[in-house]
Structure 1
Amino acid sequence: MTRIARIEPIHIAYPDSNDFNTTRRTVLVKVETSDGVVGWGECIAMWPEACNAVCTVINEGFLPLLRDHEAEDIDGAWTLMRRHVFWYGEGGIASLAISGIDMALWDIRGKVAGKPLYELFGGLRQERLLANASAHVNKRGMDACVEEVAGFFAAGFRSTKLGFAKKGESNIGGDPDTDVEFVRRLRERLGPDAGILIDIGNGVRWDADTAIDVANRMAEQEIGWYEEPLYPTDDAGYRKLRASTSLRLASGEREFTEAGYRRQMEFIGAIDVYGVDPARVEGITGFRRVDALCTQHGKVINAHAWSTAITTAASLHLSLASPNAEIFEFKPFPVVVQDEIVTEKIWHRDGWAYPLTGPGLGIEVREDVVRRIAA
C-alpha cells in the first residue's frame, strides 16, 4: 500500500511581467509517497505573511496528520484536513493549505494509474476550450491599452478577460465614463466576433447604481460577462444589479469553500459565472464539488488559473472534464512560473486549449527552477 512519506511546502517569489515585474508569491507543495512517487500542488496565498502561514499549517498541522496515510485515499485525507482545522478553517489560510496537498495527491493518483486526471474524472466533456488572454489593463494611455489587447488576438487568442484598476500606468478603472469608452473603442478595434470579458476588480469601489449604469452601457458592446463590479459580499447590491441588467454577472474567485458557493447559488441567486481556483477552493476535490453545484444550478464555471503551470494544469483537466466551462485563461506574457517551471509550457494551439495527455497533472515540474525561486 502506497503511503504518504513527505509533504514539503515551498514558498516561491518571482517577478511577474504581467504587472511590470512586480514580485508575486505562492506556495508549491511537493508530496512524496513511500515508494517514491511525487505529486505537485499549489496554494495561492500571494502575500508573504499568508504564504508563511500556509507553510506553518502544512508543516505543523497537516504533515503530522497525514504522514503514513494511504496516498490514494484522497477523500479521506481531504476530510481529515478539514476536520483538523474545524476551529479556524472554514476558508482562508487553511483552505489554501488543503488545496495544495489535495492537488498533489490527485497528481499522484493519476501517475500511479498511468492516466491523465480528466480520465479519473470520467473523461473529457469537451474536446477543447476557447483560449482566453487574461491580462490587466495597465499601460499608459487608452490607445496603448487597446493596441495591447489587439496584439493578443493577433497572437491567436479568441477571447480576452481584462482586469481594471490594477497597478501600473493606466487610468482604466478610475472613472466609469473612461471605462465605458475603453470598451467601446476596444470593440471597434477588434470587431464583432472577439470575445471580451470585463473584470472590474478589487481596485474599484462602486455602489450598485454606478455598477448598473456601467453594465448597461457596456452591454451595448456585447461583452461576454461583467465580473465583480461590487464587493463580493455585497449581496443586496448584486441582487439589485441582477434585476437591472441583461449582462451575465461573474464572481467567486475570492470564495474558498463549497459551502460558500452553495450560499451564493441558493440564497443570493445573482451570479451567472463562477470563478473557481483549485489552488484556493480546497483543491481539485473542492473544485469538483463546486462544479457539481454549477451543474445543479445551471451555472458557468471558470477556472481562475492565473498563477503557476501547476495550477494551470489542474485547471485545464478540470475544465475539460466539466460541462460547465466556456473558456480557458492563459497569461499572455512570459513569466518564469509558466515558461520555465515545467519542461513543456502549457499553451494554446490556434486559439484553443487542448487536453494534457500525460499521467496525473500531465506536467513535469523542474525542481531546479522551483528551488531557484524559493523565497
Structure 2
Amino acid sequence: MKIKSVRAFPIQSEMIGALYQEGATSGRRPPWTKTAEVAGPMSGYTRFKRSRTAWRYDGAVGCLVTAEDGTFGFGATRYDLPVVHLINDHLGPVIEGENALAIERTWDMMVRAASPYGTSGLPSYAISAVDLALWDLKGKLLEQPVYALAGGPVRDDLPVYATGNDTDWNLELGFRGTKLACAFGPHDGLQGLARNEETIARTRELIGPDIELMLDCWMALDVDYAVRLAERIRPYGLRWIEDCLLPENAEAHDELRRRLPSMTLATGEHWYSIQSFASACIRRPADVLQPDICWAGGFTGCRKIAQLAEAHGLEVCLHAGANTPYGQHLSITSPAIRWAEYFMGSAPGVPLEDIRIFPGMPVPVDGRIVPSDEPGFGLGLTLDHIRQMQR
C-alpha cells in the first residue's frame, strides 16, 4: 500500500476536544496556569517575565497522511506555519508514493532530506508529525494498535505523575507523583531562591513522604543558581530537578552534573536529534531523558532514543507522555520508561475526560493509564473532525 498524500495544516487549538464533548464541568477555581509566574529563558526581561505567552511563538499543527485505499493516519505537533510549509512543500512530496508500511525507510528519507538545513528544531517537529501519522496509518491498515506493532506492552499499565501547581487536585485524582513549575530564577536574587524553597517545603508538607515530588525549571537557570537551589531543597527529597539550563550548552550540562553528583537530573525536552541523546547517553549529564514524541522525531525517533537509553542504563520519561495517545503507546512498550507525565493545565474539579485532546484517548484513573487497543493510536478522529479543526 503506497502513500497517496501528505498534508499538514494549522489547527484551531480551541477546537480540539470541543469537537466531541457534549459539555464541560465548571472548575472550582481558576487553574494555576492563569495566574502563576513561571521562570523561563526570557525571565531576565521585565516585560516578558510574567507570562510565557507574551513572547512565545506557537500554534498546533495537524498532519494527515492518506494511503491509496483512502485509509488515513493523523499526527500532531507545534509551531504553526513554518512547520506546515516544511511538510507540505518538502517532506511530504519526498515520501509520497513510498510504501506506507515502511516507516523506518520514510523516517530515514525525511531526516536525510532535511539535512541541508539541519534536522534539529523546526524540521524535527515536522518529521515528528508525519511519522506519527504514518504509525497511525500503519496500525489502521494492519488492524493493530501501535503498541502491538512496536512489540507489545512491557507492563499491564502505566503509572502517571501530574505536572502542575494545583497540588491538592493532583492528589485528589490519585496521582502518586507531582511536579511543580519553578517560579523564580537567577534574576530574582536571594528572595526568589527563598520563595522557591518555601513553595517546595509547603508542597512536601501537603503531599507527605510517600508521594514523589519533582521540580521543572524550564531552561530558566544557570549552573550556579541550579546548584544553590538544589542544595537548599535537598531536605525535601525531590525525585529530580529538570530542564535547568538552555538546551544547546552541553558543557554547562556536564558542569552541573559534576557539581551535583548526588542529585537526580532530568533533561532533554528541548533536544530534538538522535545525536543529542546519543551524546547524552555517553556523557551522562542527566539520569532521566525527556524527549517529546511530537517534537523529537515522532514514534520512530523516540523509540530509538528509548532503546539508546536502555542500553546505557538511563531512564526515559517522555515530556507530557500521558497527554497524547502517541506517548502512551510508546511508553508502555519500553523498559526504559517507568512512568508517564500528565500535564495538568485545567481547572480543579474538571474531570480529565473533559480535557482529552482526542476523543478515543484514555485518561489517567487513580494515577494509572492503559492505552487504547483500537487500531493505530485509537485517536477516535473522523475526517469530519479533522476538517473542523483546520484553521
1:156 partner letter: G
| 1:197 and 1:223 in contact (8 A); partners too | yes
Gaps of 5+ in 1: 46-50, 138-147
Q: Which residue of 1 aligns with 2:123?
A: 94
Distance 2:4 2:77 in 1: 20
Match of 2:355 among 336, 339, 356: 339
Identify which range, 346-355 or 231-240, moves more after superposition. Answer: 231-240
Is 1:106 matched with 2:135? yes
| 1:12 and 1:25 in contact (8 A); partners too | yes
- TM-score, with length taken from structure 2: 0.82
Q: Which has the higher contact order (CA 8 A, sep 6+)?
A: 2
Write out aligned runs for 1:259-298 (5 A).
259-266=275-282, 268-298=283-313
- TM-score, with length taken from structure 1: 0.85
The Cα shift of 1:252 comes to 0.3
Distance 1:347 1:174 in 2: 38
| 1:301 and 1:324 in contact (8 A); partners too | yes
Gaps of 5+ in 2: 17-30, 36-52
Write out aligned runs for 1:1-375 (5 A).
2-14=1-13, 19-20=33-34, 25-45=59-79, 51-135=80-164, 137=165, 148-165=166-183, 175-202=192-219, 204=220, 206-245=221-260, 246-266=262-282, 268-305=283-320, 312-334=324-346, 339=355, 341-375=357-391
Q: CA RMSD in A?
A: 2.7
Distance 2:354 2:270 in 1: 22
Alpha carbons of structure 1 residues 63 and 230: separation in structure 2 relative to 1, 3 Å: closer
Distance 1:344 1:250 in 2: 31
SS of 2:259's equivalent? coil
The Cα shift of 1:198 comes to 0.7
Say how many residue pairs are matched.
348
| 1:172 and 1:178 in contact (8 A); partners too | no
| 1:54 and 1:94 in contact (8 A); partners too | yes
| 2:360 and 2:381 in contact (8 A); partners too | no
Distance 1:173 1:322 in 2: 42
1:331 partner letter: F
| 1:126 and 1:322 in contact (8 A); partners too | no
The Cα shift of 1:251 comes to 0.5
Identify which range, 287-296 or 82-91, moves more after superposition. Answer: 82-91
SS of 1:277's equivalent? coil
The Cα shift of 1:273 comes to 0.5
Distance 2:189 2:314 in 1: 29
| 1:127 and 1:355 in contact (8 A); partners too | no
Distance 2:32 2:68 in 1: 39
Distance 2:149 2:251 in 1: 40
